[in-house]
Chains A and B, each alone.
Chain A
Amino acid sequence: MEHNGQPLEQPSIPSASVKDNIAYIKQLLGSPGDLLIRTFLTADGQKAAVVCIEGLVDKQVIQNQVISQLMQESGSSFTRTDRTENTGQMDDEYSRGTVARTTEQLSLQDMRRSSDWDEIILTILSGDAVLFVEEMEDTVLIGSKGWKSRAIEEPQTESIIRGPRDGFTEDIRTNTTLIRRRIRDPHLRFDSYCIGRRSRKDLIVAYIDGVVNPMLVKEVKRRINTIDMDDAEGSGFVEQWIQDHYWSPYPQILNTERPDKVAGALLQGRVAVLVDGTPFQLILPITISSFIQSPEDYYQNWILASVLRILRVFAVFIALFLPGLYIALLEYHHGMLPSKLAFSVAGTREGVPFPAVMETFLMEATLELLREAGVRLPKSIGQTIGVVGGLVIGEAAVTAGIVSPVMVVIVAVTAIASFAIPSYGFAISIRLMRFLIMIAGSVFGLYGIVLALIINCIHLVNLRSFGIPYTAPLAPLRLSDWRDLIYRLPVIRLSHRPEILETMDSKRLDKSSKKKGTQ
């Protein structure tokens, strides 16, 4: 750890003198105002000090479990009793003095010893406390993290009607708890990493051993180990660092605020990457069909869920093609509209000064502006902007004769369709593609739209997410995965995990234990 250029005469291990140690820490951290140092004498009369950062620690723990215990009860009072069996092994290792034994008897759950300065400093900065005792080279690291964190709330970006309401928070411990509470499998693994040269953030790779394909886990870990940057800002940096194709507009890793989504993905044989400091956790690998699926599909009747999924497929197509088609049909292929529609569109466009291309780009750009403004604005005003933008501007533009009423309908339908896509990241990509298709449609008409679609398809089949083809159950055809793709079969029929993930344990339910009638 080569912290700020200032050369320090770094002792490799803490010295026996509390004073020296404190001096060193102060020097290293630059005596910040939030550094708490409490020196005291133990009941045995030895000098001791607790060092921690204010705001990150739970002061109650340090006060009650550490300082007061050490000050009031002398070590001998412990050793002379018959409790030696409790500390039996420890006694052999630490025969230094009574205090050393005393520290073993602190009523703390999370406690370990260390004599590595790097570890000690990181411990302090992560919110734990460090106890130095005179004449003892080991220091005691006390797990006393206790900062203020946001309560578990309903996810902001992925609300559903039926299903659990809890969402991830910024605190990684809370998040792992949320997942553990859903999966009590002893094989659930949380492998911790520390990323960011300076930020030293916690990152956890979660998977279920025995389900997930070990090659996948290996590859994920390999990529995570390559991360080398100052700070991993949220999960976005991690996502962009480890994804396969960084020049593609399509997200290859799913981010979610919903623990049930993560738990479901883990049980399917996927891997989740949890990053500290953000409620958005990553699920990988994914295929393009993940974007039209919502956890709600599994909570509802399968017929409803299937119909809703088909509806979402339509929504994707509308959001992608509708304005482009409008341009193409109005600029080139007037014969493809039914006669009455053609006349009525021509009639409403009478007196509109812009060509259909201009009109469409104008309105779509306005819509994107409104959307962007709506995100930035304070929540209370955000609602108003929707109404003002959607209704007032649209209505006013029509009466002013700048755009035709049909255009307003097209823009509105497109916007609604793009909100029906469950994944926000995918919806953004669709927004971008929509503009490309509008350009293609305005230059080449329907021919251009078809070209753009073909280019898109070529791009999509070339994409991979951690080695899994992006268009997976469709393009490398895996018919058994179609049971949970565009439609979802009854739960009893979803007997296997996705074939494309090549899981170790492919069966989700044991058919043989069922009655014969099911097959």
Chain B
Amino acid sequence: MTRAAAKRRMLPLLVAVCALMSGCWDRVEIDQRGFVVGVGIDEPDNKEEGKHDEENRKGQLEKNQSDPKQSFKVVYQVVMPAGLNTNKGGGMEGGAGKAYFNMAVEENTMATSMAKLSQRLSRAPFFEHLKVIIISENIARRPQKFAETIDYFLRESEMRRSTRVMVTRDKAIDVLNTHPPDQRLPSAYLEELSDNTKESSRILPESRIGDVHEFLLKHKSFAIQAVQNGNRNYSTMTEAAVFNGTSNELVGFLNAMETAGLNFLEGRVKGGQIKFSFDNRLGVFNIERMSRRLECKFGPDNMPEFTFHIRVEGSVGELLHAPDTLKEDAIDNMENAVQREIVKLMRMTTNKLQHEYNCDVMGLREYLFHNHYRWFKQHESQWEEEGHLFSTRPVKMDVKVSVRRSGNINLTED
């Protein structure tokens, strides 16, 4: 037998070995997966953890031994798929079964906490459907801790970069227990809630973990969604958590109005309402679209001054008295009132960012980086840190509002 013939004879064997010995090692049945959809990261609680256990979990979770050495208490939200099925067949419990459970683990690294979780669950934790990571304020406020926390969620190959990251003033575990009656999974609820930017101007655009990673690498200050009011039935997302770009730590929150102002500054408003007063009565303006242009002029001292050109279009949503909305002066009045409100919102935000937090999350640094690179390179270190250039830069607002429609009617009563 020649060499070539011998080789040819080995070929089927090789194929058979490849097929029979290498296949199937990753095979896991879909019903053997523990789908982790939400992760909450808290500080380990010290004294009152017993009370929490009573409130949130019914004893099927073991008590958390408070170990002072551990730095995180990680709550994993795992789906119970059978509970999600609304049809009567199949499921062992009826339609209204619980669709999820939370399990808390105390550890000082994420990976080992995951390992601990898999020691307790019969089904291997699976993170590809992870929706939200909720980090409590206490963790995020500590220097570097925030980045350490999300490292695992960026590094692990099972993770997706579209997972939402949120900060909460409350306990993360509380937020992970809230869902309105129509939603069965708190994590899915939070994810959908974070997309509601078309309905409200006070919700920041979604904060994906991939984007956050970018901000961290760029040493850029950033704001991400903050969730609060974690009660049984709902949470809200109308706050923003501001992170300092150099220390990567949480410096504070913007309230709902300030968040709306930030959205206007960044030009990311997609919808929502502006309440304005008009002849001492209330009116509501529906935002339909907006555009934003940032202009920068260098003064005699070679220092930039900024002007935000904002154009907002929308319609009249509600009026609590009856001006003739087709009259030109009535429209002008309304436009001016709305314009004042928007300037007020933006002013609030810039004041807080410039003078309280000294964090440039409204895009001035980006603008200089892109358009005046040489100047920016010279002054980079002085922008936020030493020189406090950012906090002293004058910012002007040029807002133009057009009322495009009066709604379907002109007058309610005559």
Contacting pair A343 B79 (CB below 8 A): yes
Residue of A nearest to B128 (CB): A335
Query: 1/0 per position for A337-369, CB-CB distance to B under 8 A?
Result: 001101111111111100110000000000000
For B116, list chain A residues within 8 Å (CB): none
Q: In the complex, A129 Cα to B137 Cα: how many Å?
A: 107
A236 contacts partner chain B, Cβ-Cβ < 8 Å: no
- Size of interface on B: residues with Cβ below 8 Å to A: 29
**Known A342-B30, A355-B29, A356-B29; contact A347-B23, beta-carbon cutoff 8 A:** no
Contacting pair B26 A350 (CB below 8 A): no
Q: In the complex, A342 Cα to B81 Cα: how many Å?
A: 9
A448 contacts partner chain B, Cβ-Cβ < 8 Å: yes
Q: In the complex, A356 Cα to B29 Cα: how many Å?
A: 7
Contacting pair A444 B23 (CB below 8 A): yes
Contacting pair A343 B35 (CB below 8 A): yes
B171 contacts partner chain A, Cβ-Cβ < 8 Å: no
B85 contacts partner chain A, Cβ-Cβ < 8 Å: yes
The stretch that binds B, out of A133-141, A164-172, A212-220, A326-334, is A326-334
Q: Which of A467-502 contact B (CB under 8 A)?
A: none
Query: 1/0 per position for B61-105, CB-CB distance to A under 8 A?
Result: 000000000000000000101111100011110000000000000
Q: Which of B29, B82, B188 contacts A347 (CB 8 A)?
A: B82
Chain A contact-residue range equals 20 to 34
B292 contacts partner chain A, Cβ-Cβ < 8 Å: no
Q: Which of A330, A339, A405 contacts B131 (CB 8 A)?
A: A339
Contacting pair A331 B84 (CB below 8 A): no
Q: Report which residue of B28, B35, B90 has the largest number of chain A beta carbons within 10 angstroms of its beta carbon.
A: B90
Overall SS of chain A's interface: helix
Q: Which of B126-160 contact A (CB under 8 A)?
A: 126, 128-129, 131, 158, 160
Contacting pair A335 B129 (CB below 8 A): yes
Contacting pair A350 B30 (CB below 8 A): no
Contacting pair A334 B30 (CB below 8 A): yes
Contacting pair B82 A342 (CB below 8 A): no
Q: Which of B27, B37, B89, B126 contacts A331 (CB 8 A)?
A: B27
For A462, list chain B residues within 8 Å (CB): none
Q: Report which residue of A347, A349, A352 has the largest number of chain B beta carbons within 10 angstroms of its beta carbon.
A: A347
A324 contacts partner chain B, Cβ-Cβ < 8 Å: no
A445 contacts partner chain B, Cβ-Cβ < 8 Å: yes
For A355, list chain B residues within 8 Å (CB): 27, 29
B33 contacts partner chain A, Cβ-Cβ < 8 Å: yes
Q: Which of B102-131 contact A (CB under 8 A)?
A: 126, 128-129, 131
What are 24 sample pairs from A and B whose C-beta atoms fall under 8 A apart?
A330-B29, A332-B27, A334-B28, A335-B160, A339-B37, A344-B81, A344-B85, A346-B79, A347-B90, A347-B91, A348-B85, A348-B90, A349-B29, A349-B30, A349-B31, A350-B31, A351-B82, A351-B90, A355-B27, A355-B29, A356-B30, A405-B89, A442-B24, A444-B23
Q: Which residues of B contact A (CB under 8 A)?
A: 19, 23-24, 26-31, 33, 35, 37, 79, 81-85, 89-92, 126, 128-129, 131, 158, 160, 188
Q: Which residues of A contact B (CB under 8 A)?
A: 330-332, 334-335, 339-340, 342-352, 355-356, 398-399, 401, 405, 442-445, 448
User: Closest 3 interchain pairs by CB?
Assistant: A335-B128, A347-B81, A443-B23
